């Protein structure tokens, strides 16, 4: 395949960026999108130009690092995948592909397609944990009975990889699907109950502080999420926050 | 508790509560309007009761006005905050790939409704307030004293095709607003967990049937001259 790529180039956070056109050829339809980017970068390095910076790590849909906005959608046109799992067979010979970084005020660009998603880390640190004594006498988690339904839902919520596609896809740059998943993962389990009120309050407060938008319930996040995290998690988080407010 | 309503989620819950109030009001308004088609006499009587009962006039009416103003002011606040959360826009963004037009344009359907509310106030509310509280005529009777004036006034208003056109268009926007808004409000208060499908169906029924009903009533009065 021969492709035209329109890629956002930005030297660093302080410099203004712009879209730059590149041509790549001999792209196999079996390549992943990141491998296609590797081909481009080898070409650029060969010419002595600065390669396009992009985030990646596992290249198998687990780490959530690969954060590109491809042809107007987070992780491109396919569903239930990250960019590293996007195959070039989703495109046609001669296509023009637009590649931009995830856009949100809370996700500032570091360089080219790399954005700073540490806002998610700070939200996690605000409450996505349970405080247990790890002295060696910790109770076996399996000793506490949990219904199959609750266990399944908590597991589903826990599959969120913190990629930020929900924020990137949301017209409001809202992080509610991510935070909803993290809150739900604990709210559904008995171990999460003790700190439930503080958890949701602190995590939502941190989310607001980071400058993410509000939720309009458009559902774009759920559609674009590589892990199929359900909107119900947002409803559950709202309920948890209301519960925390009433009980206080 | 005050901290709650300052949070992003608290604002959405407040938005949803005002929307619930408006949706209940709309249902009530629809039922009374239907009387103008089925039974003009009952329509007159109910209108007179609503227009002169002090509890409705001095308590519920101000609450309603507050509800409407709160809803659209909060709508603007949310819209501005949300716009501000993305300082650099995408060069290419496919909103339609993952969300409905209605959900992405609540502010525009809302503004259309707001324009309608202004027109509606000029048409009915201001003349009503003028007659009752400035002229001081609370009898609810026609000038010649022969029966109540409400049905006559309503019927007369819908003579103009321009006005009927504006009303019909406004109700189309209301339907679009509610097609997303109804379910969204339940989602905001966390009531959709485990019952998303039924909520979507209920929302579709409410947001199509009620505005369509209003449209039919307006057309009925227009063509029944
Ligand atoms: C007066 C003009 C109006 C304006 C400017 C307006 C604006 C808005 C906006 C911008 C939203 C989305 C808020 C968000 O992003 O979360 C919204 C939501 C909503 N509106 Fe309106 N609106 C108006 C009138 C109405 C009326 C008359 C009704 C019902 C009879 C209504 C029902 C709803 C509902 C149910 C929601 C969803 C609430 C939620 O998501 O929690 N609106 N409105
Ligand atoms: S909810 Fe989905 S889209 Fe959002 S961070 Fe988690 S995995 Fe990514
Ligand atoms: S590189 Fe790890 S998910 Fe794509």
Question: pLDDT for A48-62, tens place per residue?
Answer: 999 999 999 999 999
Q: In terms of domains, do A28 and A94 share one? A: yes
Tell whether A106 and A129 lie within a shared domain: no
> Do A91 and A146 fall into the same domain?
no
pLDDT at A91: 98
Are A68 and A164 within one domain? no
Q: Does B183 reach chain A within 8 Å, measured CB to CB?
A: yes
pLDDT-derived band at B145 (thresholds 50, 70, 90) equals confident
CA nearest B196 in A: which residue?
A232
Task: Please report the pLDDT score of residue B87 as a whole number.
Answer: 95
- Where does the pLDDT of residue A97 fall: very low under 50, low under 70, confident under 90, or very high at 90 and above? very high
Residues A78 and A150 in one domain: no
pLDDT at residue B225 is higher than 80: no
Residue A78 φ then ψ, to 5° = -80, 165
Q: Which of B113, B132, B111, B130 is nearest to B122 (CA)?
A: B130
Answer yes or no: do A148 and A215 share one domain.
Answer: yes
Q: Is A6 helix (H, G, I), strand (E, B) or coil?
A: strand
* Residue at token pair 């009927």: B164
pLDDT of residue B2: 64
Given a cut of 90, is residue B199 above it in pLDDT?
Answer: yes
Cα–Cα distance between A215 and A217 in angstroms, integer? Answer: 5
pLDDT in tens, A147-188: 999 999 999 999 999 999 999 999 999 999 999 999 999 999
Average pLDDT (B73-80) is: 97
Structure tokens at A23: 């041509």
Average pLDDT taken over every residue of chain A: 96
A202 has a chain B CB within 8 A of its CB: no
Q: Which residues from chain B sit within 8 angstroms of residue A176, using beta carbons?
A: 8-9
Identify which of A77, A173, A204 has the shortest CB distance to residue B85: A173
User: According to the model, what pLDDT value does residue B193 have?
Assistant: 84
pLDDT value at residue A136? 82
Res A98: pLDDT: 98
Atom of ligand 2 nearest to the CA of A177: 1
Residues of chain B neighbouring A8 (CB-CB closer than 8 A):
91
pLDDT at B143: 82
Matching residue, tokens 């856009």: A103
Q: Which CATH number do you get for residue A146? A: 1.10.1060.10
Res. B65 pLDDT band, cuts 50 70 90: very high
Q: Which chain A residue has the Cα nearest residue B14?
A: A242
pLDDT digits (tens, 9 = 90+) for B100-143: 999 999 999 999 999 999 999 999 999 999 998 998 888 888 88
Give the model's pLDDT for residue A140: 83
- Report the greatest alpha carbon distance in chain B: 66
pLDDT band at B147 (very low <50, low <70, confident <90, very high): confident
| % of chain B beyond a pLDDT of 70 | 99
SS3 state of residue A115: strand
Domain count, chain A: 2
Average pLDDT of the residues in A13-39? 97
Mark whether A121 and A205 lie in a shared domain: yes
What confidence score (pLDDT) does residue B136 get?
Answer: 87
Residue A191 neighbours by CB under 8 Å, 6+ apart: A130, A132, A141, A144
Task: Give the pLDDT score at A247.
Answer: 85
**Higher local confidence (pLDDT), A116 or B146:** A116
Atom of ligand 3 nearest to the CA of A58: 2
Cα radius of gyration (chain B): 20
Stretch B18-44: mean pLDDT, rounded?
A: 97
Q: Is the pLDDT of residue B196 over 90?
A: no
Which of A81, A117, A165 to probe ligand 2 with, by most ligand atoms within 8 A of CB? A165
- Do A123 and A76 share a structural domain? no
A66 and A147 share a domain? Answer: no
DSSP state of B123: I
- Measured CA to CA in angstroms, residue A108 lies from A116, A181, A215, B177, B222 at distances of 6, 23, 20, 33, 56
Q: What is the pLDDT of residue A207?
A: 98
The encoded tokens of residue B114 equal: 């707001």
> Is the confidence at residue A248, as pLDDT, over 90?
no
Residue B20 has pLDDT above 90, yes or no: yes
The residue whose CB lies within 8 Å of the most ligand 1 atoms, and thus the one to mutate among B15, B78, B108, is B15
Q: How much of chain A is in helix, strand and coil states, percent to nearest 5?
A: 40, 15, 50
ipTM value > 0.90:
yes
Bridge partners, A21 (sequence order):
A6
Residues A83 and A156 in one domain: no
Spatial separation of the C-alpha atoms in residues A195 and A186, rounded to whole Å: 9
Across chain B, mean pLDDT equals 95
Say what the pLDDT of residue B58 is.
95
pLDDT at A229: 98
CA B46, B49, B55, B61 torsion: positive or negative? positive
Nearest chain A alpha carbon to B13: A238
- Minimum-distance ligand to the CA of A172? 1
Question: Is the Cβ of B184 closer than 8 Å to some Cβ of chain A?
Answer: yes
- Give the angle B27-B163-B34 at the CA atoms, nearest 5°: 30
What is the structure's pLDDT at B45? 96
Ligand 1 atom at shortest distance from the alpha carbon of B182? 35
d(CA B208, CA B177): 11
B1: pLDDT confidence band, cut at 50, 70 and 90?
Answer: low
Give a three-class secondary structure readout of B76-113: HHHHHHHHHCCCCCCCCCCHHHCCCHHHHCHHHHHHHH
Q: According to DSSP H, which parts of chain B are helical?
A: 2-6, 8-38, 40-52, 54-55, 61-84, 101-104, 106-120, 126-129, 150-157, 161-188, 196-223
Closest-CA residue, ligand 1 atom 3, reads B110
pLDDT of residue A139: 80
A111 interface with B at CB cutoff 8 Å? no
Nearest-by-Cβ selection for B93 from A72, A106, A241: A72
- List the single range of A224-238, B14-28, B71-85, B191-205 with lowest mean pLDDT: B191-205
Mutate to test the pocket of ligand 1, among B65, B111, B184, B200 (most ligand atoms within 8 A of CB): B184
Q: Around Cβ B110, how many Cβ atoms within 10 Å?
A: 20
> Number of C-alpha atoms within 13 angstroms, CB side, residue A3?
24
Minimum distance, in Å, between the CA of residue A85 and any CA atom of chain B: 19
CATH architecture for segment(s) B2-82+102-223: Up-down Bundle (1.20)
Helix, coil or strand: residue A86: coil
Average pLDDT of the segment spanning B83-95: 97
pLDDT at B144: 82
Chain B positions in Cβ-Cβ contact with residue A16 (cut-off 8 Å): none
Residue range(s) defining the domain that contains residue A124: 117-134+141-246
Do both A87 and A30 map to the same domain?
Answer: yes
Shortest Cα–Cα distance, B200 to chain A (Å): 13
Q: How far is the CA of B31 from the centre of ligand 1 (A)?
A: 21
Name the closest-CA residue to atom 1, ligand 2.
A178
Ligand 3 closest atom vs CA A83: 4
Provide the pLDDT for residue A141.
79
Smallest Cβ–Cβ distance between A100 and the set B10, B91, B192 belongs to B91
* Cα separation, B176 vs B180, whole angstroms: 7
What predicted TM-score, i.e. pTM, was given to this entire model?
0.95
8 Å CB contact between A175 and A212: yes
Based on the domain organization, do A15 and A55 belong to the same domain? yes
pLDDT value, residue A61: 97
């Amino acid at each position: 395949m021969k492709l035209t790529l329109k890629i956002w180039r930005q030297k660093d956070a302080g410099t203004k960026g712009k879209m730059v056109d590149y041509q790549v050829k001999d792209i196999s339809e079996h390549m992943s999108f990141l491998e296609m980017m590797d081909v481009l970068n080898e070409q650029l390095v060969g010419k002595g130009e600065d390669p396009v910076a992009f985030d990646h790590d596992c290249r198998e849909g687990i780490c959530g690092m690969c954060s590109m906005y491809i042809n107007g959608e987070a992780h491109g046109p396919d569903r239930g995948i990250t960019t590293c799992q996007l195959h070039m067979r989703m495109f046609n010979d001669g296509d023009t592909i637009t590649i931009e970084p995830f856009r949100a005020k809370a996700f500032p660009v570091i360089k080219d397609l790399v954005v700073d998603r540490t806002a998610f880390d700070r939200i996690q640190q605000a409450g996505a944990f349970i405080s247990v004594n790890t002295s060696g006498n910790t109770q076996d988690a399996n000793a506490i009975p949990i219904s199959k339904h609750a266990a399944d839902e908590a597991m589903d919520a826990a599959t969120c990889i913190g990629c930020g596609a929900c924020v990137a896809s949301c017209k409001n740059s809202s992080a509610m699907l991510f935070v909803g998943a993290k809150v739900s993962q604990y709210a559904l389990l008995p171990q999460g109950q003790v700190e439930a009120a503080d958890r949701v309050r602190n995590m939502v407060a941190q989310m607001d502080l980071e400058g993410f938008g509000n939720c309009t319930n458009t559902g774009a996040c759920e559609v674009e999420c590589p892990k199929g995290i359900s909107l119900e998690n947002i409803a559950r988080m709202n309920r948890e926050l209301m519960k925390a407010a009433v009980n206080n | 508790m005050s901290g709650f309503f300052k949070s992003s989620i608290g604002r959405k819950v407040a938005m949803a509560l005002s929307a619930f109030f408006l949706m209940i009001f709309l249902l009530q308004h629809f039922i009374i309007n239907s009387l103008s088609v089925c039974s003009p006499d009952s329509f007159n009587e109910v209108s007179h009761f609503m227009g002169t009962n002090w509890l409705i006039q001095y308590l519920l009416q101000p609450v309603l006005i507050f509800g409407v103003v709160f809803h659209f002011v909060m709508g603007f606040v949310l819209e501005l905050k949300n716009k501000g959360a993305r300082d650099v826009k995408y060069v290419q963004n496919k909103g339609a790939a993952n969300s409905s037009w209605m959900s992405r344009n609540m502010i525009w359907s809302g503004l259309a409704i707001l324009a309608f509310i202004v027109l509606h106030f000029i048409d009915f509310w201001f003349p009503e307030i003028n007659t009752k509280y400035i002229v001081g005529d609370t009898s609810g009777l026609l000038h010649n004293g022969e029966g109540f004036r409400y049905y006559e006034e309503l019927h007369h208003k819908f003579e103009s095709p321009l006005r009927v056109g504006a009303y019909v268009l406004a109700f189309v926007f209301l339907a679009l607003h509610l097609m997303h808004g109804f379910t969204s409000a339940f989602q905001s208060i966390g009531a959709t967990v485990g019952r998303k499908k039924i909520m979507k169906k209920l929302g579709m029924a409410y947001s199509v049937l009620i505005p369509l009903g209003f449209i039919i009533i307006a057309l009925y009065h227009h063509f029944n001259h």
